[in-house]
Amino acid sequence: MAKRAKKARKPAKPRTYTGFGRTVYDATVAAHGLIPENPKIADELIKSKVVDWGRETGGFAGLNRIYVTVVKV
């Protein structure tokens, strides 16, 4: 009997974290703060990369905020 070839798996999508704020800096800090820490590492350095950012405006209440989406590097 011939061996079956293994199917190639698709790489997992990186998890994204989106933060909101009044400035790009505030939104970036909020998004980066959502990245979970590893409890096994006492002094972990967490790096992130901004993959998307934009602005939301409008609505009945006059919404005006910035959003930033990051991924853990």
Q: Is residue 2 part of a domain?
A: no
pLDDT digit string (tens) for 18-52? Answer: 999 999 999 999 999 999 999 999 899 999 999 99
Q: Is 73 helix (H, G, I), strand (E, B) or coil?
A: coil
Write out the residue range of the structural domain in which residue 32 sits.
16-72
Count of structural domains, the chain: 1
Phi/psi at 60 (5° precision): -65, -40
10 in a structural domain: no
Residue 4 lies in a domain: no
**What's the predicted TM-score (pTM) here?**
0.79
| The pLDDT of residue 61 | 86
Q: For residue 22, is it within any domain?
A: yes
Are the C-beta atoms of residues 46 and 6 closer than 8 Å to each other? no
**Chain centroid to CA 50: how far?**
8
